Amino acid sequence: MRPITEFCSGEQAHLFVRGLTLCHMDATLRQHAEAQRFLDGDIEAELAARGVEVTVGSSG
């Protein structure tokens, strides 16, 4: 397996985890509809617009 640093920078990983965690908490705990719409939307495109390259896999 390749080292994690070959997948993304620490800065990108931090932005990715921080953003999605906060969004999940807002959608779940605060019942923010906008946060839930974000999670239901095109997360790859939203993160790409912020310079974070991701691939979203299916959970099923």
Residue 32 falls inside a structural domain = yes
| Residues 44/60, Cβ–Cβ less than 8 Å | no
pTM score > 0.75 for this model?
no
Rg (CA), the chain: 13
Please count the structural domains in the chain: 1
pLDDT band at 52 (very low <50, low <70, confident <90, very high): confident
Residue 20 falls inside a structural domain = yes
Q: Residue 59: its pLDDT value, please?
A: 66
- The per-residue pLDDT for range 16-50, each reduced to its tens digit, is 899 899 999 999 999 999 999 999 999 889 888 88
Residue 57 falls inside a structural domain = no
Residue 1 falls inside a structural domain = no
Residue 59 falls inside a structural domain = no
Give the largest Cα separation in the chain, rounded. 39
CA 29, CA 49: separation in Å to the nearest integer? 26
DSSP 58: P
CA 41, CA 33: separation in Å to the nearest integer? 12
Domain extent at residue 29:
10-44
